[in-house]
Amino acid sequence: MKSRPSALRDFTVDRRVWLLSAVALVIGAGGAALAVLLLRAIALATNVFYYHRLSLAMVGPAGSTLSPWIMPLVPMVGGLLVGLVAHYGSDKIRGHGIPEAIEAILLRGARVDPKVALLKPLSAAIAIGSGGPFGAEGPIIMTGGAFGSLVAQWLHLTDAERTTLLVAGAAAGMSATFAAPIAAILIAVELLLFEWRPRSLVPVAVASVVAAALRVGWLGPGPLFPVDLHSTIPLGRTLLLAAPLGMVVGLASAGLSRLMYSFEDGFEHVCGRLGLHWMWWPAIGGIGIGLGGFFFPRGLGVGYDNIAELLRGNAPIALLVGLLVAKSLMWAFSLSSGTSGGVLAPLLMIGAALGESVAQLAHLPGETQALWALMGMGAMLSGALGVPLTAILFSIELTHALPALLPLALACTASYLVTSLVMPRSILTEKLSRRGYHLSREYGVDPLEMVSVADVMTEMSPHAETGDALPEALPEVLAYTDETCRAVAEEMAITGVMSMLVVDRETGRVRGSISAQELLIGRRRHVDRELERSSTFRSG
């Protein structure tokens, strides 16, 4: 008799996972190479825009010898070029990168236009190299995902398998960029895969590990921002204060999200009334970058050096204020204009500045200030993106500061709690919602998976209690007493049959029947568990 293999196993995985894992080896290598190329392209663009030379040296705009009256014009030129690339190339290059990857997964069958794989890193290099206060992670996630999607489209794969390879490419790019392979796997689960299954987790992990291994030879082993914390930090006092800090940072992350989308609404409203095509909006965003850079040059570019200084403790007040005010405004205003850039690095920077500002106000010593900067950094990422596990592991992998694990975990959890209560959507999913797509990011076991067919089926009449043998004209679609209701629901969805005979797998005898109506009983039990309240222990 036919048996649906998913019905009686812990995991819905088959031998095709070997094929996907083998392909993920190639995608991991390709994602790492693309990450290196993007970082080099950003360096080249920065040298061209601010130093007028062809060089791959890793420099920042703040060290340029350009006239302070000329420097504010550079981001405007970069924004203009990005708008032209988006208009005449592909408008999919606009924005953070991660929402676009999610949209490709959910709405386009994990199919990405080949042009995106080329134009996204090009536009990101121009935007960041011309002073854009963005991170490279969003563009590389989209670029790596595009590469994974292109490889998948050459193969004979299902929609779910293409999604796995797209996400594998995205994870590989992030792993290589930040030397954070475990965090790259977790962000794939928390933000992109919409599932936690071996069939997708294994290939994504393979790609991430391969990319991290190749990064060692190409960019260095990491950590990106080493922090030397001793195990003698005042753990008890820090734990008491970690949760309040996380809550404050969570509120700040909600404020940043609303600030950015307020600017976006402003662009839509003002530019729409003026009849100004969106192609010109990044140039307007560049004006904001230039003005901010005039007063605070260290707000230009990716700003990894700022993060490193914050994580050493004792950062100057001017840097803290500049990051909290100027960097926040520059980033929110310019990104809302539709240019190409990421959100992770700016969020890490602003969160670290907020954490260290609180530490300085409390007159804490330098090493403790570094710990608070680290907690603020992780809490900001956790709250803004809604990825607490990724934020904890990402912060540890970026710094290798293992003594900070407990207070960091508490701060990230507190921030996640606050933002999940006050923000209906994260800074990434809000963009999808504005395009008319809503998604739930709560993952759990299907309630029908926890109910067997025998629990809800309509049993045979009493006079046929022992069950009749199956007739010779055996129905093609059957249900079995030991199956889960989820497996039966899947079979009904595939075949269109809304009612099945239920048989005993061992004896082959008919025991009853099951229809879509009975399947709703499993759903009702789940609703009851969520809504009905009772006291287990009662007095008297």
CATH number at residue 155: 1.10.3080.10
> Is 469 inside a domain boundary?
yes
Residue 262 shares a structural domain with residue 305: yes
CATH code for the domain in which residue 508 is found: 3.90.1280.20
DSSP state of 351: H
The set of residues, in sequence order, having a beta carbon less than 8 Å from that of 341 and lying 6+ positions away, is: 96, 124, 127, 128, 132, 133, 134, 135, 138, 139, 334, 335
pLDDT computed for residue 99 by the predictor: 75
Residue 170 shares a structural domain with residue 70: yes
Residue 127 shares a structural domain with residue 214: yes
Last residue of a domain, one of 408, 434, 460: 434
Residue 211 shares a structural domain with residue 254: no
Q: State how far the Cα of 223 lies from the Cα of 178, in Å rounded to an integer.
A: 8
Phi first, then psi: give them for residue 42, nearest 5 degrees: -65, -45
Residue 286, both tokens: 């560049």
> Is 441 inside a domain boundary?
no
Coil, strand or helix at 502? strand
Phi first, then psi: give them for residue 322, nearest 5 degrees: -60, -40
Q: State how far the Cα of 363 lies from the Cα of 357, in Å rounded to an integer.
A: 10
Q: State how far the Cα of 259 lies from the Cα of 479, in Å rounded to an integer.
A: 54
On whether the pTM is more than 0.85, the answer is: yes
Number of domains in the chain: 3
pLDDT computed for residue 179 by the predictor: 93
Cα-to-chain-centroid distance, residue 426 = 10
> Is 196 inside a domain boundary?
yes
> Is 6 inside a domain boundary?
no
Residue 194 shares a structural domain with residue 127: yes
- 66 burial via Cβ count (<10 Å: 0-12, 13-18, 19+): middle
The set of residues, in sequence order, having a beta carbon less than 8 Å from that of 394 and lying 6+ positions away, is: 178, 180, 183, 186, 187, 378, 381
Residue 58 shares a structural domain with residue 151: yes
Per-residue pLDDT tens digits of the chain, which is 540 residues long: 444 544 566 777 888 999 999 999 999 999 999 999 999 999 999 999 999 999 999 898 988 888 888 888 999 999 999 999 999 988 888 877 777 777 777 777 778 888 888 888 899 999 999 999 988 887 888 889 889 999 998 998 988 899 999 999 999 999 999 999 999 999 988 888 888 889 999 999 999 999 999 999 999 888 999 998 876 678 888 899 999 999 999 999 999 999 999 999 999 899 888 899 999 999 999 999 999 999 999 999 988 999 999 999 889 999 999 999 999 999 999 989 988 888 888 999 999 999 999 999 988 887 789 999 999 999 999 999 999 999 999 999 999 999 999 999 999 999 999 999 998 888 888 877 777 777 777 777 778 888 888 888 888 765 555 555 554 444 767 888 888 888 898 888 888 888 889 998 888 888 898 988 888 877 787 777 777 776 666 655
Residue 280 shares a structural domain with residue 354: yes
Residue 384 sits at the vertex; the CA angle it makes with 144 and 334, to the nearest 5 degrees, is 70
Residue 114 shares a structural domain with residue 161: yes
> Is 10 inside a domain boundary?
no
Last residue of a domain, one of 169, 192, 218: 218
Residue 240 shares a structural domain with residue 128: no
Last residue of a domain, one of 157, 191, 218: 218
Question: What number of other Cβ atoms are within 10 A of residue 390's Cβ?
Answer: 27
Residue 55, both tokens: 């060089």
Residue 282 shares a structural domain with residue 398: yes
Torsion sign (Cα): 463, 468, 473, 476: positive
Q: State how far the Cα of 193 lies from the Cα of 170, in Å rounded to an integer.
A: 11
pLDDT computed for residue 469 by the predictor: 52
> Is 507 inside a domain boundary?
yes
Residue 287 shares a structural domain with residue 181: no
List the alpha helices (DSSP H) in 193-343.
Answer: 198-218, 235-266, 272-274, 281-295, 304-310, 317-321, 328-335
In terms of residue numbers, what domain contains 506?
447-531
Q: DSSP states of 72-139 as a string?
A: THHHHHHHHHHHHHHHHT-GGGSB-SHHHHHHHHHHSTT---HHHHHHHHHHHHHHHHTT---BSHHH
Residue 74, both tokens: 């550079």
Question: What number of other Cβ atoms are within 10 A of residue 470's Cβ?
Answer: 16
> Is 7 inside a domain boundary?
no
DSSP state of 270: I
> Is 228 inside a domain boundary?
no
Residue 261 shares a structural domain with residue 297: yes
